Amino acid sequence: MFTDFFFPDRCLNCNTIIAANVFVCEICISQIKFTTDSFESENIVKEKCKSLFPVENAFALMEFQKEGLSRELMHNLKYKGRENIGNLFAEWTIERLHFKEKPDLIITVPLHKRKQKKRGYNQLQLYADNISKHYAISYDKDIMRRNFHTKAQALKVFSKRVVTKNLFSLNKSISGKHVLLIDDVFTTGNTMSTMAWEILKNKNNKISVLVMANDEG
């Protein structure tokens, strides 16, 4: 394409010319701190979750580096319209994530309709679509609703981060399901916890967690 010649894709880290929708060159990928934990192992994300809600298993693709490449990728995914980074994260996840007990249903953290309209997409959509198809796990993107708009966690003072009651609600009942909750960055776990307890109102449900990155703060 004419535009590809004059405006080629470049690595988000070193600016080297790369193939379309790759985003990071092979050399710079080595700078990303991928986790080595398995889904069923005891790990830091699972420990964080256990302090907030009952959890079966948990997995984070990578560590969130505040000054590193993982932050740059996440920032481009969420705020610069590069939705296809979700496909790249899914590819990396599929290379590393293996289930002994496969969940029944995927639920992603929903955006408020006002925020999604402004952004134009939910940054978790392509990621979850790929995970759903590869592992043959049902994904219902409309089952969970965000009831009102809140400021982004990144803009809040840490001491003021609290779990907001009634932030989420289910559009239909879930019973007897092992639900895989997916989010981008796990920081305090407040958002994930609020969603989990909504699902766990039915005691026949179970929760596991998958996140793109874990922020150890």
Question: How many Å apart are CA 69 and CA 212, to the nearest integer?
Answer: 13
CATH 3.40.50 region(s) of the chain? Answer: 33-214
Q: Are 16 and 57 in contact (CB under 8 A)?
A: no
Q: What would the CATH number be for the domain defined by 33-214?
A: 3.40.50
- Nearest Cα neighbor of 207 from 135, 105, 129 is 105
Q: Residue 193 has what pLDDT? A: 95
Q: Are 79 and 85 in contact (CB under 8 A)?
A: no
Question: How many Å apart are CA 92 and CA 212, to the nearest integer?
Answer: 10
Q: Residue 27 has what pLDDT? A: 94
Within 13 A of 114's CA, how many CA atoms are on the CB side? 7
User: What's the CA dihedral at 74, 138, 43, 71 to 10 degrees?
Assistant: 0
Q: Residue 160 has what pLDDT? A: 43
Q: Residue 115 has what pLDDT? A: 85
- Nearest Cα neighbor of 128 from 116, 114, 138 is 138
Q: Residue 214 has what pLDDT? A: 96
Tens of pLDDT along the chain (217 residues) come to: 434 444 588 999 999 999 988 999 999 999 999 999 999 999 999 999 999 999 999 999 999 988 889 999 999 999 999 999 999 999 999 999 999 989 999 999 998 888 888 888 899 999 999 999 999 999 999 999 988 776 655 444 443 444 466 889 999 999 999 999 999 999 999 999 999 999 999 999 999 999 999 998 6
